[in-house]
Every structure is written in structure tokens, then in C-alpha cells.
Amino acid sequence: MKRTTAARPSLSESQLKKALIAADDIGPGWKTMSGGGSGVWPCDEEPDTTADATAVRKFDHPGSPETQASVSLAAYEDSDAAADFLDELRDNIGDCEDEPVDLGGGIELSFKEIELLRSNGNTTDSEVLSVAIRQEQDGRFAADGVIIFIRIEDVVGSAQVIAPARRSTAMDQVAIQIARLQLERAADKLGRSA
């Protein structure tokens, strides 16, 4: 849902990183991992609309199965640009649902839009995109995951969970919890209220 709003001062990478750190850890048992990474896109094609600044935090949970998670924030020129990014990403997912991305070494990653989390309705200038991901190696199942994108005004946050297990209600709930705890807290720190 697009909504043109008054221009805000641009957010920097430093501000985004501080907001993610201020959002605190994602729960008991999770450990922070180092590293960022540019990610993998449906169709192996990044949307045309690019962010002005980005920040990422990664986490690992040594449970059974071991689960990895990441949260990110991306700041755009304005709300319309952030909405354009999500529109382009949604189109790419639809266009490439049956075309996995080849990561090399026999590993492929596929994406599919799902109904998982809806905007809470507190503001008209927000939207949610939920995506299921599947990783295969040499044609065999390797891992499932969920990514939840939340746009609040000119900021897009994502929460991703992936594990070497079939997608389940428990996996979905972990992704929802991380999205709500991390992304909405971080957005609030940036003055963008969900």
C-alpha cells in the first residue's frame, strides 16, 4: 500500500545498526553471529529500487535442529520508494516461483509468497510480505525457511529463519516473534511507528 508522506531526514547505516542493537536479542538460546552478506534474490535478480542504507544482524540457535536467523533494516528515499521495492520483490517471487536460484555446488533456493502475517492496521503506511524458502542440494531437500518483510513508512525490515527441517507452525511462529520483537522495536527507535 503506497502513501506519500512528508520527506524525512535520510537514515544512515549507523542509525540502522544502532536501532537493531537497541532492539535487543531475539530470545533465550540465540547467539549473535558475525558477518553480513548481500542475500539471495528470487530469479537471482535484485529489485531495481535500492536502499540508501542497510544493516543486518545474524543469530544462531544450537537446538535440534540448529536454526539460523537474521534481521535486517533498509532505509529508502521515501515511503513510495520503499513500497516500490516490496512491489518489485513480490513480482519477482511470483515470476520465479518455479525457477530456483542456483547457488553452485548443487544447491538451489526457491521462494514462494505465503499468507502468514498481516499489517496490524495501526497505520495505513505499512505493509507485510511473507515468503517461504526451500533449499535443495543435488535435488534433495536440505532446509526450509520463512522470511517476513515489514515496511513501515520509508523503512523495510526483514526477519528470516532457516533450519534443516520441514517448515512447520513452530518455524512460522519463531519468524513472527522475531519480526515483531526486532523489527517493530527497531522501527520505533528510528521514529517509525508500527
Residue 152 CA, distance from chain mean position: 13
What is the average pLDDT value for the chain, to the nearest integer? 85
pTM: 0.88
Beta bridge partners of 161: 69, 146
What would the pLDDT profile of 116-159 be if each residue is shown by its tens digit?
Answer: 876 655 556 789 999 999 999 999 999 999 999 999 899 999 99
The better pLDDT of the pair 7, 80 is held by 80
**pLDDT score recorded for residue 24:** 74
What would the pLDDT profile of 8-64 be if each residue is shown by its tens digit?
Answer: 668 999 999 899 888 877 778 888 886 655 567 887 778 889 999 999 989 899 887
